[in-house]
Amino acid sequence: MDKEVRNIKNSIKAISSEILNGENYSRDDFARSILNYPAMMVPSVQEPIIENLSHAIEGEVSLLDPFMGASNTLVTGMKYGMNVFGQDINPLSILLSQVKTSFYDVGELIDAEERLINRINSDKLNKIEISFANIDKWFTKNIQIELSKIYRAIIKEQSLKIRKFFWVALAETIRLTSNDRTSTFKMHMRTVEEINTRLVSATKTFSIVSKKNIKNISDFISILMLNGNIKRGKYIKKAEVVWGDSLSGIKTSKMFNLLVTSPPYGDNQTTVTYGQFSYLPLQWIPLCDIDNKIDLEYLRTTQEIDSKSLGGQIRGSINDIEEKIFEKSNTLKTFITQFKDVERKKAQKVTRFIYELDCSIDKMLPRMKSNSFLVWTIGNRNVNKQVVRNDLILSELFFSKNIELFTGLEREILSKRMPGRNNFSDTMSKESILIFKKND
């Protein structure tokens, strides 16, 4: 190992636990505040790692996040002037990421917000613009009327970029004003009493969220400008986000020298339901304003996005899957084969998830250049009251592909909303950050 690479390894190892545990960091910075997307990365955790690795990479850095979620990884890469490319299967992640990686003229946003609020206040129509199964279960009539006014006001905006910005504000408004509880990512209705006594206005919420988002994006643009990463009203490098299933492939011919990601931690039913979280907002946002390739099928039921995501579907025979994946990970084999009957059946969801994760890694590797780094943040979880060592399993998967662990760090998770009532999955308390190096 050459001296410079050894130095980088040492400086990553020296990243202090205060930084990793986010103790010096405000959770309300621009990157996390624009929409409360599930399981967001903490930028302050990624930042020192991304910064250190950028010194170990020769020439321009091109960063890939194949499970980009709220695109906090991409945003961190942009602070360091990197080319960034993100992919996600969830259309809400795409919309949010398109907004976060675009350059906005803050004056234009302020004018647009004023225009929208005037339009909403002078709209006297009671027409409801959207219809889907169970709309009355998830929204009171008054909220449906207010959301429809917001919808009509946004759709009148000429600029797609401006519409996208305010669709994100509408998504957050929907999260805060629907009858769905905000305390879980799964869809759970509030009690009837709560719904009847709640005083909530969609218009006021939309105005507050829009103003906050304008402030957040303006803070981000100021940082980019300060770092010299904006020239002539544009980000100096490439920032691209695409809608796509990373299990089928990475939808670009670009090559990357840095991959930073946090994949789902297990099957969707029992870990984080990104799709259910996105279901209600996506009913109110025209998908063609996000990407006209997005299939409406994705919104057919509340389960649809999750079932299409990693670990979401029963594909293939379990015996074949076990045979292939146990060969790569002895930790997984030992974990699964300790169970019998019902417990074994439950644990098989882990096998399927790991198998799909492994297949998706095979789709990413051809896009990674020689001497590239791959940073994976992954948490362990409990199944049948036993810990699934996702960190060891992931290292074994990479080892089977001749890619060795470069170094690793661990951090405590301060707050992560996991499905607590479900005995299949307990709350995670530690996350591992595993850094691999692809040599050839």
Instruction: By CB under 6 A, tell whether 262 contacts ligand SAM.
Output: yes
Residue from 310, 375, 383, 434 touching ligand SAM (CB under 6 A): that is 310
Closer to ligand SAM at the Cβ: 40 or 147?
Answer: 40
CA pair distance 138, 178, nearest whole angstrom: 6
Q: What are phi and psi of 360, to 5 degrees?
A: -70, -35
Token digits for 259? 């991959």
- Identify residues 132-151 at the interface with ligand SAM (CB under 6 A): none
Instruction: By CB under 6 A, tell whether 299 contacts ligand SAM.
Output: no
Whether 93 contacts 264, CB under 8 Å: no
Rg (CA), the chain: 22
Token digits for 415? 């707050």
DSSP state of 427: P
Q: Distance of alpha carbon 144 from its chain centroid, rounded?
A: 27
Site string for ligand SAM, 365-384 (x = CB under 6 A): --------------------
Alpha carbon separation from 262 to 118, 191, 391, 433 (Å, rounded):
41, 34, 12, 9
Instruction: By CB under 6 A, tell whether 70 contacts ligand SAM.
Output: yes
Closer to ligand SAM at the Cβ: 53 or 247?
Answer: 247
CA atoms within 13 A on the CB side of 131: 2
Closer to ligand SAM at the Cβ: 37 or 85?
Answer: 37
**To which residue do tokens 């009251």 refer?**
385
Residue from 138, 151, 274, 326 touching ligand SAM (CB under 6 A): that is 274
Angle between helices 318-326 and 330-337 (to 10 degrees): 130
Whether 123 contacts 149, CB under 8 Å: yes
Residue from 108, 245, 289, 291 touching ligand SAM (CB under 6 A): that is 245
Closer to ligand SAM at the Cβ: 139 or 274?
Answer: 274
Site string for ligand SAM, 16-55 (x = CB under 6 A): ---------------------x-xxx--------------
Instruction: By CB under 6 A, tell whether 276 contacts ligand SAM.
Output: no
Alpha carbon separation from 250 to 41, 242, 366 (Å, rounded):
21, 9, 9
Instruction: By CB under 6 A, tell whether 69 contacts ligand SAM.
Output: yes
DSSP string, 141-199: HHHHHHHHHHHHHHHT-S-HHHHHHHHHHHHHHHHHHSSB-SS-SS--BPPHHHHHH--
Instruction: By CB under 6 A, tell whether 325 contacts ligand SAM.
Output: no
**How many chain residues bind ligand SAM (CB under 6 A)?**
26
Residue from 54, 72, 331, 390 touching ligand SAM (CB under 6 A): that is 72
Residue from 203, 276, 309, 432 touching ligand SAM (CB under 6 A): that is 309
- Region of 61-69, 160-168, 176-184, 419-427 interacting with ligand SAM (CB under 6 A): 61-69
DSSP state of 428: P
Closest residue to bound ligand SAM by CB: 69
Alpha-carbon torsion 179, 184, 187, 189, what sign? negative
Closer to ligand SAM at the Cβ: 123 or 240?
Answer: 240
CB of 302 to ligand SAM, least distance (A): 15
Closest CA to 56 of 92, 95, 9, 18: 9
Instruction: By CB under 6 A, tell whether 281 contacts ligand SAM.
Output: no
Task: Indicate the SS3 state at residue 345.
Answer: helix
**To which residue do tokens 């994949």 refer?**
263
Residue from 33, 54, 73, 273 touching ligand SAM (CB under 6 A): that is 73
Token digits for 239? 């920032």
Instruction: By CB under 6 A, tell whether 277 contacts ligand SAM.
Output: no
CB of 401 to ligand SAM, least distance (A): 19
Instruction: By CB under 6 A, tell whether 264 contacts ligand SAM.
Output: yes
- Region of 89-97, 103-111, 367-375, 387-395 interacting with ligand SAM (CB under 6 A): 89-97
Those residues whose C-beta lies under 8 Å from the C-beta of residue 12, and which sit 6 or more positions away, are 48, 49, 52, 53, 407, 409, 435
Instruction: By CB under 6 A, tell whether 247 contacts ligand SAM.
Output: yes
- Identify residues 148-187 at the interface with ligand SAM (CB under 6 A): none
Closer to ligand SAM at the Cβ: 93 or 329?
Answer: 93
DSSP state of 249: -
Contacting positions for ligand SAM (CB under 6 A) = 37, 39-41, 65, 67-70, 72-73, 87-90, 93, 245-247, 261-264, 274, 309-310
